[in-house]
Structure 1
Amino acid sequence: MDSAAVTPALILCADDEESLLTDICDELREAGYNVLGATDGNTLMEQVSSVTPNLILCDINMPGLNGYDVLDTIREQRPDLADIPFIFLTALSNPDEIVTGKRLGADDYLVKPIDFDLLLATIDARLRQVQRMHEKASLEKEKLCETMQELTHQAVTSTSRALDLVAPGIVLLNDQGRVMYANRSATLLADTNRYLNLGETLTTTLTRENRQLCQSITDMINAENEQVLCLSLPHSRKGHDLLVLVCSLDKRNAGPAAVVLLSDPDNRVHVPPQVVAKLFNFTPTEARIALALADGRRTEEIAVDLSISATTVAFHLRNLFQKTDTNRQADLIALILAGTMMWNLGG
């Protein structure tokens, strides 16, 4: 990879020996890294609250918060930094100290006096390991998108009987927005929801929502690339909103121009959080919040369900946006729905 094409990794380094801290920071900067230094654990935690590092070097014996306290606090309060390598720096070579650090979740352990060649090699190895993890996650995300596209293409050529067995409602639309096919699940959802009309076209009796639905369908039919839009429609009975996923299709192939997936959160097969965590490289809490959003839960409801504050939910939501390369909640839900629907189809 061309190092000039990417932003240098940011390393946070904490050590109460100021001369050693200066030497380490100088070595790291000379090696091409961005560095922030701290002489105690409290300062390091302040830095962690304002920046997202690529790696943390931390002395164990420091005033205020010691290294163990810092690591424990980060692992407890910042699950979004779970994949950030944490390396202890210490003058202690007692195996018990190493075991303690490892059990707390430290990724590596360097003993003073610091061998700078070993330090740089260790940092390089850990950063490459994280890069491989991110590349793998990116490939899995691309594979998910490709699989979703394959599923929509397969839906075009599959038999009606096969489509009727699919849990989500599927509606195939031509380039005029006319319904070409609707499976049994879609028909049942329309029959049980007085707001939803499924005839020659797919519409809703609610004025504002119908404008959104029609505009989404038009946008996906006219989209040059394969895209996804997500919106929700109220139920005629009590319950969560009906989730609607509108997907454009490859215009190079003859057939449907768009597919609409309808999902009833109250009757949908629920995907285990660990499956979503693996699909999108989420933490367990992020996976639970993502599934709650896909189920139509609001931020305040999620906070109550998980016994956390709304601020914490918002914090995790920002991490979900970052990990999925989305900017809006609707786009995030669309991606989660695509993944969970794919899992239901494959399961």
Structure 2
Amino acid sequence: MNNKARILVCEDEPALRNDICAELVEAGYEAVGVRDGNDALAFLAEGRPDLILCDIAMPVLDGRGLLDRIRDDRPDLSTVPFLFLTAFSDRQDIIAGKLGGADDYLVKPVDYEMLLATVSAHLRLVSRVEIAVNDRLAQTREALGSAENGHYSALECLAQALVIVDREAHVLYANPKARSLACIGAGLQLDRALSLSKNNALFIDALAEVMADETGMVRSVIVTAPERDREMILLIGRIAAVEGVQRAALVVIADPGTRSIPEPDLLQAALNLTPKEAELAALLAKGLRSEEIADVMGVSSTTVSYHLKNLFAKTQTNRQSDLVVFILSLCALSPSR
């Protein structure tokens, strides 16, 4: 098979490790065998597997210890399936393993037909998620490009609530998700004529600041949605001229209460980001300013600008407003609470 999936087999019994690797190779995979958790960590420092098959009871660093280390120290491996292989078949032990972060549990003696079927199933699931991510990002990129040319039809299908306004806060467009909100309190109100309420000084001030800025900043305004008993975030960023309007802004309505802001782990896996880039991307989507992000991350503003430049390159965006929408386009793929 082309582009063979790489399976890391962590098993301290040499004969069993060799047999498992041989079965995997015969099935068309690339198999890498290691004898314990420390050897696995050494391999992971240099390479990335597509799936990890790991015995629980091993000397030095056992399977649970390895899983904990990976979950704590290697968020970049969060999408790599981790399968436990164990002689312990007790139901509670299996439940405990899955609650501890394992994706599946295979019991010794090894049923190789079951092992291969389980491996194949998990790899297919990862592939489906990757396809869904790529499709969603491509859809968002196309929609943002269409908006710049005054064509809003592509924005209709996006899951984010998006509003486009001019410098006077007149609504040029609101997609179905934004229209469904209708009224989210005093911060942003869309009546039947889709006119923007101008009684929120914070919003108007943020809009003016964004319109006057040449660096592509995004500003955020927190508004209360009484009928939803929680706050909403309005993220405001300038976009290219649309429909003859010299300057326009994109307003993204984010609802943290519905997990509309993806976790850094998901961003890292979906967009091939470094941990710092993923952290910055998540903070941007929450509406933090660059100086606030620098404080949270404990880095300088120069470092924030460096990571932001890399984010633009990796997401093929040019402005923070587009980048924020791009990040939020993954919201439907975030795990539920």
Q: What TM-score, normalized to structure 1?
A: 0.59
Counterparts of 1:159 and 1:335, CA distance in 2: 15
Aligned residues: 263
| In structure 1, distance between residues paired with 2:102 and 2:57 | 15
Give the deviation of 1:100 after TM superposition: 1.6
Residue 297 (1) aligns with residue 282 (2): no
Counterpart AA for 1:164:
H
The letter of the residue matching 1:141 is L
Could you say if the C-alpha distance between residues 288 and 332 of structure 1 is closer, same or farther in structure 2, counting changes exceeding 3 Å?
A: farther
Matched AA of 1:165: V
Could you say which residue in structure 1 is the equivalent of 2:120? 124
- In the TM superposition, what is the alpha-carbon distance from 1:270 to its structure 2 partner? 6.0
Residue 276 of structure 1: SS of its match in structure 2?
A: coil
Counterpart residue number, 1:41? 37
1:61 paired to 2:46 = no
Answer yes or no: is 1:337 the counterpart of 2:324: yes
Work out which of the residue numbers 137, 142, 150 in structure 2 matches 1:141.
137
In structure 2, the partner of 1:282 is: 267
Superposition pairs of residues 164-179 of structure 1, within 5 angstroms: 164-165=170-171
Q: Report deviation, 1:142.
A: 2.4
Residue ranges of structure 2 left out of the alignment (5+ in a row): 154-163, 175-195, 199-203, 220-235, 270-274, 331-337
What is aligned with 1:175? none
Q: SS of the counterpart of 2:54?
A: strand
For the aligned residues, what is the CA RMSD?
Answer: 4.9
Instruction: Give the distance between the partners of 1:30 and 1:259, measured in 2 at CA.
Output: 63
> Alpha carbons of 1:95 and 1:338: their partners in 2 closer, same or farther (altered >3 Å)?
closer
Q: 1:272 aligns with which of 256, 273, 280?
A: 256
Q: TM-score, normalised by structure 2?
A: 0.60
Structure 2 Cα separation of the partners of residues 10 and 334 of structure 1 = 38
Q: How does 1:1-347 map to 2 (within 5 A)?
A: 3-4=1-2, 7-152=3-148, 153-154=150-151, 164-165=170-171, 196=212, 231-232=215-216, 245-246=239-240, 262=249, 272=256, 274-277=259-262, 281-282=266-267, 289-293=280-284, 295-297=288-290, 302=293, 304-306=295-297, 326-327=313-314, 331=318, 333=320, 335-339=322-326
Query: AA paired with 1:275?
Result: S
**1:66, 1:22 → 2: CA distance?**
19
Higher relative contact order (CA 8 A, sep 6+): 2
Checking the alignment, whether the CA contact within 8 Å between 1:291 and 1:336 is kept in structure 2 is no
The structure with the larger Rg is 1
User: Could you tell me how far apart the structure 2 residues matched to 1:341 and 1:97 are?
Assistant: 37
Q: CA shift at 1:93, angstroms?
A: 1.4
Which residue number in structure 2 is paired with residue 179 of structure 1? none
Displacement after TM superposition at 1:246 (Å): 4.6
